[in-house]
Amino acid sequence: MAIDEAQFAVLATAEVDAPPQPPAVLIYDDWYPAIRASELKPGKMHTAMLLGIPLVLGRKSDGAVFAMRDSCPHRGIPLSCGWFERDNVVCKYHGWRFEPASGQCQEIPSLSSHDTLDATKIFATAYPTAERDGHVWVYIPAAGAGRVRAGDSALPVVPEVPKFSQHFRTAHLSADLPCNVDHGIIGLMDPAHGPFVHQAWWWRSRASIHEKEKQFEPIPQGFRMSAHAPSGNSAPYKLLGVYGEPIVTTIDFVLPNRRYETIRCGKKWFASLTTVTPVTARTSRIDVVAAWNIFYTVPFVTPIAKYFGARFVEQDRQTMVEQARGLRYNPALMLIDDADKPAKWYFALKQARLEGRSDHPLSGPVTLHWRS
Protein backbone atom coordinates (compact mmCIF):
# COMPACT_ATOMS: atom_id res chain seq x y z
CA MET A 1 0.00 0.00 0.00
CA ALA A 2 1.51 3.32 -1.04
CA ILE A 3 1.82 6.17 1.46
CA ASP A 4 0.81 9.49 -0.07
CA GLU A 5 2.09 12.85 1.17
CA ALA A 6 -0.98 13.50 3.35
CA GLN A 7 -0.53 10.17 5.12
CA PHE A 8 3.18 10.78 5.54
CA ALA A 9 2.43 14.16 7.13
CA VAL A 10 0.49 12.29 9.81
CA LEU A 11 3.39 9.93 10.37
CA ALA A 12 5.85 12.80 10.41
CA THR A 13 4.04 14.71 13.13
CA ALA A 14 3.35 11.73 15.37
CA GLU A 15 5.17 11.58 18.72
CA VAL A 16 6.77 15.02 18.35
CA ASP A 17 5.61 15.91 21.87
CA ALA A 18 8.84 14.53 23.29
CA PRO A 19 10.40 16.32 26.26
CA PRO A 20 12.21 19.53 25.30
CA GLN A 21 15.82 19.11 24.28
CA PRO A 22 18.80 21.39 24.94
CA PRO A 23 18.78 24.38 22.55
CA ALA A 24 21.28 24.83 19.72
CA VAL A 25 23.03 28.02 18.71
CA LEU A 26 21.46 29.04 15.39
CA ILE A 27 23.08 30.30 12.20
CA TYR A 28 21.49 33.42 10.71
CA ASP A 29 22.19 35.34 7.47
CA ASP A 30 21.20 32.42 5.27
CA TRP A 31 18.32 30.79 3.38
CA TYR A 32 16.00 28.21 4.95
CA PRO A 33 13.01 26.34 3.45
CA ALA A 34 9.82 27.54 5.15
CA ILE A 35 6.90 25.90 3.36
CA ARG A 36 5.96 23.98 0.23
CA ALA A 37 5.23 26.46 -2.55
CA SER A 38 2.06 24.59 -3.53
CA GLU A 39 0.47 25.58 -0.22
CA LEU A 40 0.52 29.28 -1.06
CA LYS A 41 -2.52 30.41 -3.04
CA PRO A 42 -3.25 34.03 -4.05
CA GLY A 43 -5.37 35.76 -1.43
CA LYS A 44 -4.54 33.30 1.37
CA MET A 45 -1.98 33.52 4.14
CA HIS A 46 -0.13 30.72 5.94
CA THR A 47 2.04 30.63 9.03
CA ALA A 48 5.40 28.97 9.62
CA MET A 49 8.21 29.08 12.15
CA LEU A 50 11.90 29.43 11.29
CA LEU A 51 14.70 29.81 13.85
CA GLY A 52 12.09 30.65 16.47
CA ILE A 53 10.68 33.47 14.33
CA PRO A 54 6.94 33.32 13.56
CA LEU A 55 6.27 34.01 9.88
CA VAL A 56 3.21 34.80 7.81
CA LEU A 57 3.58 33.85 4.15
CA GLY A 58 1.49 34.34 1.04
CA ARG A 59 1.41 34.80 -2.70
CA LYS A 60 0.54 38.06 -4.45
CA SER A 61 -1.71 38.27 -7.49
CA ASP A 62 1.33 38.32 -9.79
CA GLY A 63 2.52 35.00 -8.31
CA ALA A 64 5.34 36.45 -6.22
CA VAL A 65 5.70 34.96 -2.75
CA PHE A 66 6.35 36.93 0.43
CA ALA A 67 7.28 36.31 4.05
CA MET A 68 6.77 38.73 6.94
CA ARG A 69 7.33 38.45 10.66
CA ASP A 70 3.93 37.48 12.02
CA SER A 71 3.67 40.56 14.21
CA CYS A 72 2.17 43.99 13.60
CA PRO A 73 4.72 46.68 14.54
CA HIS A 74 1.90 48.71 16.11
CA ARG A 75 0.67 46.52 18.98
CA GLY A 76 2.16 43.09 18.25
CA ILE A 77 -0.95 41.16 17.21
CA PRO A 78 -0.12 38.43 14.66
CA LEU A 79 -0.68 39.71 11.14
CA SER A 80 -1.99 36.24 10.28
CA CYS A 81 -5.08 37.10 12.35
CA GLY A 82 -5.90 39.72 9.72
CA TRP A 83 -6.53 39.28 6.01
CA PHE A 84 -4.94 39.65 2.59
CA GLU A 85 -6.66 42.29 0.47
CA ARG A 86 -5.61 43.93 -2.82
CA ASP A 87 -2.08 42.52 -2.41
CA ASN A 88 -1.77 44.06 1.04
CA VAL A 89 -1.67 42.42 4.46
CA VAL A 90 -4.24 44.12 6.71
CA CYS A 91 -3.95 43.99 10.49
CA LYS A 92 -7.10 42.84 12.26
CA TYR A 93 -6.65 45.13 15.26
CA HIS A 94 -6.53 48.63 13.76
CA GLY A 95 -6.58 48.04 10.00
CA TRP A 96 -2.97 49.01 9.34
CA ARG A 97 -2.18 47.97 5.78
CA PHE A 98 1.24 46.69 4.65
CA GLU A 99 2.82 45.92 1.29
CA PRO A 100 4.12 42.43 2.14
CA ALA A 101 7.28 42.17 0.00
CA SER A 102 8.84 45.29 1.54
CA GLY A 103 6.82 45.46 4.75
CA GLN A 104 6.09 49.14 4.07
CA CYS A 105 2.96 50.51 5.72
CA GLN A 106 0.50 51.83 3.14
CA GLU A 107 -2.27 53.13 5.37
CA ILE A 108 -3.17 53.82 9.01
CA PRO A 109 -6.96 54.31 9.04
CA SER A 110 -7.00 56.12 12.40
CA LEU A 111 -4.87 59.04 11.16
CA SER A 112 -6.80 62.29 10.84
CA SER A 113 -6.16 65.57 9.05
CA HIS A 114 -4.48 66.79 12.24
CA ASP A 115 -1.81 64.06 12.18
CA THR A 116 1.60 64.61 10.59
CA LEU A 117 2.77 60.98 10.78
CA ASP A 118 3.80 59.58 7.39
CA ALA A 119 2.58 55.97 7.43
CA THR A 120 4.95 55.01 4.61
CA LYS A 121 7.93 55.62 6.92
CA ILE A 122 6.82 52.63 9.02
CA PHE A 123 7.91 49.10 8.10
CA ALA A 124 6.86 45.72 9.37
CA THR A 125 9.62 43.13 9.17
CA ALA A 126 9.70 41.46 5.74
CA TYR A 127 12.20 38.84 4.55
CA PRO A 128 13.64 38.05 1.10
CA THR A 129 11.96 34.99 -0.41
CA ALA A 130 12.55 32.74 -3.41
CA GLU A 131 10.93 29.65 -4.93
CA ARG A 132 13.19 26.72 -5.73
CA ASP A 133 12.33 23.08 -6.35
CA GLY A 134 8.85 23.42 -4.91
CA HIS A 135 9.89 25.11 -1.66
CA VAL A 136 9.63 28.71 -0.54
CA TRP A 137 13.01 29.71 0.84
CA VAL A 138 13.27 32.60 3.30
CA TYR A 139 16.44 34.53 4.09
CA ILE A 140 16.73 35.10 7.86
CA PRO A 141 19.17 37.88 8.78
CA ALA A 142 20.82 38.20 12.16
CA ALA A 143 19.14 40.43 14.72
CA GLY A 144 20.02 44.08 14.18
CA ALA A 145 20.90 43.63 10.51
CA GLY A 146 18.27 46.14 9.42
CA ARG A 147 16.06 45.73 6.37
CA VAL A 148 17.37 43.22 3.87
CA ARG A 149 15.92 43.47 0.37
CA ALA A 150 15.30 40.65 -2.08
CA GLY A 151 17.68 40.77 -5.00
CA ASP A 152 20.51 42.22 -2.93
CA SER A 153 23.72 41.05 -4.61
CA ALA A 154 25.27 40.43 -1.19
CA LEU A 155 22.80 37.66 -0.40
CA PRO A 156 24.08 34.08 -0.81
CA VAL A 157 22.78 31.99 -3.70
CA VAL A 158 19.45 30.28 -3.06
CA PRO A 159 20.01 26.50 -2.68
CA GLU A 160 18.83 24.25 -5.48
CA VAL A 161 18.95 20.57 -6.41
CA PRO A 162 21.56 19.92 -9.14
CA LYS A 163 20.00 18.85 -12.43
CA PHE A 164 21.69 17.32 -15.47
CA SER A 165 18.97 17.09 -18.13
CA GLN A 166 15.96 19.00 -19.34
CA HIS A 167 13.41 16.33 -18.43
CA PHE A 168 13.21 14.87 -14.93
CA ARG A 169 10.81 13.89 -12.18
CA THR A 170 10.70 15.21 -8.62
CA ALA A 171 9.45 14.20 -5.18
CA HIS A 172 9.29 15.85 -1.76
CA LEU A 173 9.27 14.53 1.80
CA SER A 174 9.17 16.31 5.15
CA ALA A 175 9.16 15.31 8.82
CA ASP A 176 9.28 17.12 12.15
CA LEU A 177 12.14 16.18 14.47
CA PRO A 178 11.97 16.54 18.27
CA CYS A 179 15.64 17.49 18.49
CA ASN A 180 17.75 20.56 17.90
CA VAL A 181 19.31 21.19 14.53
CA ASP A 182 22.76 19.93 15.58
CA HIS A 183 21.49 16.46 16.46
CA GLY A 184 19.42 16.42 13.28
CA ILE A 185 22.41 17.29 11.12
CA ILE A 186 24.93 14.89 12.63
CA GLY A 187 22.28 12.18 12.30
CA LEU A 188 21.95 13.15 8.64
CA MET A 189 25.67 12.73 7.96
CA ASP A 190 26.22 9.66 10.16
CA PRO A 191 27.55 6.84 7.92
CA ALA A 192 27.37 4.01 10.45
CA HIS A 193 23.68 3.82 11.39
CA GLY A 194 22.41 2.47 8.05
CA PRO A 195 22.51 -1.30 8.71
CA PHE A 196 20.77 -0.79 12.06
CA VAL A 197 18.22 2.00 11.52
CA HIS A 198 17.48 1.21 7.88
CA GLN A 199 17.33 -2.57 7.94
CA ALA A 200 15.13 -3.68 5.04
CA TRP A 201 15.26 -6.10 2.14
CA TRP A 202 15.32 -3.16 -0.26
CA TRP A 203 18.19 -1.38 1.50
CA ARG A 204 20.63 -3.34 3.62
CA SER A 205 20.96 -5.59 6.66
CA ARG A 206 23.40 -6.10 9.51
CA ALA A 207 24.75 -9.14 7.66
CA SER A 208 25.95 -6.83 4.89
CA ILE A 209 28.27 -4.77 7.13
CA HIS A 210 31.78 -4.48 5.75
CA GLU A 211 34.69 -2.08 5.94
CA LYS A 212 34.51 1.02 3.78
CA GLU A 213 37.04 3.62 2.76
CA LYS A 214 35.97 7.07 1.53
CA GLN A 215 37.92 10.16 0.64
CA PHE A 216 36.76 13.59 1.75
CA GLU A 217 37.88 17.02 0.64
CA PRO A 218 37.21 20.58 1.81
CA ILE A 219 34.78 22.82 -0.08
CA PRO A 220 33.63 26.34 0.84
CA GLN A 221 31.50 26.21 4.01
CA GLY A 222 31.56 22.42 4.03
CA PHE A 223 33.12 19.18 2.87
CA ARG A 224 32.64 16.62 0.12
CA MET A 225 32.68 12.85 0.03
CA SER A 226 34.60 12.63 -3.21
CA ALA A 227 33.20 10.88 -6.28
CA HIS A 228 33.14 7.13 -5.69
CA ALA A 229 31.28 3.95 -6.59
CA PRO A 230 28.28 3.65 -4.24
CA SER A 231 27.97 0.91 -1.68
CA GLY A 232 27.35 -2.51 -3.17
CA ASN A 233 25.15 -3.59 -0.24
CA SER A 234 22.27 -1.21 -1.09
CA ALA A 235 19.57 -2.55 -3.38
CA PRO A 236 18.61 0.81 -4.97
CA TYR A 237 22.15 1.28 -6.27
CA LYS A 238 22.18 -2.25 -7.69
CA LEU A 239 19.13 -1.41 -9.83
CA LEU A 240 21.18 1.12 -11.75
CA GLY A 241 23.28 -1.72 -13.08
CA VAL A 242 20.65 -2.26 -15.79
CA TYR A 243 22.09 0.76 -17.61
CA GLY A 244 25.48 -0.92 -18.00
CA GLU A 245 27.42 2.24 -17.13
CA PRO A 246 29.76 2.95 -14.22
CA ILE A 247 27.89 4.39 -11.23
CA VAL A 248 29.44 7.32 -9.40
CA THR A 249 28.08 9.21 -6.41
CA THR A 250 29.17 12.42 -4.71
CA ILE A 251 27.90 13.78 -1.39
CA ASP A 252 28.40 17.36 -0.21
CA PHE A 253 27.61 18.90 3.16
CA VAL A 254 27.34 22.69 3.15
CA LEU A 255 26.56 25.01 6.07
CA PRO A 256 24.22 25.78 7.55
CA ASN A 257 22.19 22.59 7.01
CA ARG A 258 22.43 21.08 3.51
CA ARG A 259 23.31 17.64 2.20
CA TYR A 260 23.56 17.30 -1.58
CA GLU A 261 23.83 13.86 -3.17
CA THR A 262 24.29 13.18 -6.86
CA ILE A 263 24.42 9.77 -8.52
CA ARG A 264 25.51 9.58 -12.16
CA CYS A 265 25.22 6.56 -14.45
CA GLY A 266 26.14 7.72 -17.94
CA LYS A 267 23.37 10.11 -18.99
CA LYS A 268 21.15 8.89 -16.19
CA TRP A 269 21.20 10.66 -12.84
CA PHE A 270 19.59 11.10 -9.45
CA ALA A 271 20.11 14.13 -7.22
CA SER A 272 18.74 15.21 -3.86
CA LEU A 273 18.94 18.10 -1.44
CA THR A 274 18.21 17.27 2.19
CA THR A 275 17.99 20.04 4.77
CA VAL A 276 17.59 19.98 8.54
CA THR A 277 16.04 23.33 9.40
CA PRO A 278 15.81 24.77 12.91
CA VAL A 279 12.15 25.49 13.64
CA THR A 280 13.13 26.66 17.10
CA ALA A 281 16.39 26.36 19.03
CA ARG A 282 15.13 22.99 20.35
CA THR A 283 13.22 21.49 17.41
CA SER A 284 13.87 21.01 13.72
CA ARG A 285 12.40 19.71 10.49
CA ILE A 286 13.89 17.54 7.75
CA ASP A 287 12.98 18.30 4.13
CA VAL A 288 14.02 16.21 1.15
CA VAL A 289 13.61 17.18 -2.47
CA ALA A 290 14.83 14.77 -5.13
CA ALA A 291 15.08 14.99 -8.91
CA TRP A 292 15.95 12.23 -11.37
CA ASN A 293 15.75 10.93 -14.90
CA ILE A 294 16.51 7.28 -14.10
CA PHE A 295 13.67 4.93 -15.12
CA TYR A 296 11.99 8.06 -16.47
CA THR A 297 9.51 6.16 -18.70
CA VAL A 298 8.72 3.40 -16.19
CA PRO A 299 5.13 3.75 -14.86
CA PHE A 300 4.60 4.50 -11.16
CA VAL A 301 8.26 5.33 -10.47
CA THR A 302 7.35 8.54 -8.61
CA PRO A 303 4.82 7.00 -6.15
CA ILE A 304 7.16 4.06 -5.58
CA ALA A 305 10.05 6.43 -4.88
CA LYS A 306 7.88 8.43 -2.46
CA TYR A 307 6.79 5.27 -0.69
CA PHE A 308 10.29 3.98 -0.05
CA GLY A 309 11.61 7.48 0.62
CA ALA A 310 8.91 8.03 3.24
CA ARG A 311 9.81 4.71 4.89
CA PHE A 312 13.48 5.71 4.93
CA VAL A 313 12.88 9.17 6.44
CA GLU A 314 10.39 7.75 8.95
CA GLN A 315 13.03 5.34 10.22
CA ASP A 316 15.37 8.27 10.88
CA ARG A 317 12.61 10.33 12.47
CA GLN A 318 11.53 7.52 14.79
CA THR A 319 15.14 7.01 15.88
CA MET A 320 15.42 10.69 16.77
CA VAL A 321 12.16 10.52 18.72
CA GLU A 322 13.70 7.70 20.74
CA GLN A 323 17.02 9.52 21.08
CA ALA A 324 15.15 12.55 22.44
CA ARG A 325 14.04 10.50 25.43
CA GLY A 326 17.67 10.05 26.42
CA LEU A 327 18.82 13.56 25.58
CA ARG A 328 16.28 15.08 27.99
CA TYR A 329 18.65 14.12 30.82
CA ASN A 330 21.62 15.93 29.23
CA PRO A 331 23.93 12.88 29.18
CA ALA A 332 27.62 13.09 28.39
CA LEU A 333 28.13 12.30 24.70
CA MET A 334 31.12 11.26 22.63
CA LEU A 335 32.18 11.37 18.99
CA ILE A 336 34.63 8.75 17.75
CA ASP A 337 37.01 8.44 14.81
CA ASP A 338 36.52 7.76 11.90
CA ALA A 339 32.75 7.34 11.61
CA ASP A 340 32.02 10.53 13.57
CA LYS A 341 34.71 12.64 11.91
CA PRO A 342 32.15 14.42 9.63
CA ALA A 343 30.20 15.42 12.75
CA LYS A 344 33.38 16.89 14.26
CA TRP A 345 33.99 18.81 11.04
CA TYR A 346 30.45 20.16 11.13
CA PHE A 347 30.84 21.52 14.65
CA ALA A 348 34.22 23.06 13.77
CA LEU A 349 32.81 24.69 10.63
CA LYS A 350 29.80 26.01 12.52
CA GLN A 351 31.92 27.47 15.30
CA ALA A 352 34.21 29.16 12.79
CA ARG A 353 31.26 30.73 11.03
CA LEU A 354 29.67 31.91 14.27
CA GLU A 355 32.95 33.54 15.23
CA GLY A 356 33.48 35.07 11.80
CA ARG A 357 36.60 33.00 11.08
CA SER A 358 37.51 31.58 7.68
CA ASP A 359 39.62 28.61 8.82
CA HIS A 360 38.59 25.11 7.78
CA PRO A 361 38.99 21.84 9.74
CA LEU A 362 40.24 20.10 6.58
CA SER A 363 43.53 21.31 5.16
CA GLY A 364 43.28 18.90 2.23
CA PRO A 365 41.93 15.48 1.19
CA VAL A 366 41.37 13.02 4.03
CA THR A 367 40.62 9.29 3.88
CA LEU A 368 38.26 7.84 6.49
CA HIS A 369 37.52 4.20 7.31
CA TRP A 370 34.49 2.66 9.04
CA ARG A 371 32.28 -0.41 8.90
CA SER A 372 28.67 -0.19 7.74
- pLDDT tens column, 276-315: 999 999 999 999 999 988 876 666 566 766 666 677 677 7
Residue numbers of the chain with a pLDDT score lower than 50:
1-18, 233
Amino acid at 204: R
pTM: 0.86
Three-class DSSP category at 171: strand
Nearest to 147 by CA among 100, 102, 105: 102
* pLDDT given for residue 369 in this prediction: 86
Q: Which residues pair with 275 in a beta bridge?
A: 258, 287
* pLDDT given for residue 266 in this prediction: 87
* pLDDT given for residue 242 in this prediction: 60
Alpha carbons 327 and 282: distance in angstroms, whole number: 11
Nearest to 277 by CA among 45, 68, 53: 53
* pLDDT given for residue 332 in this prediction: 79
- Asked whether the beta carbons of 88 and 100 are under 8 A apart, the reply is yes
* pLDDT given for residue 207 in this prediction: 64
Burial class of residue 329 (count of CB atoms within 10 Å of its CB; 0-12, 13-18, 19+) = exposed
Average pLDDT, the chain: 85
* pLDDT given for residue 12 in this prediction: 41
Cis peptide before 256 (omega within 30 of 0): yes
- Asked whether the beta carbons of 284 and 184 are under 8 A apart, the reply is yes
Distance between start and end Cα atoms, the chain: 30
Nearest to 204 by CA among 215, 212, 193: 193
- Asked whether the beta carbons of 230 and 131 are under 8 A apart, the reply is no
Order of all β-strands in the sheet with 211-219: 169-177, 284-292, 268-278, 258-265, 247-254, 222-228, 211-219, 366-371
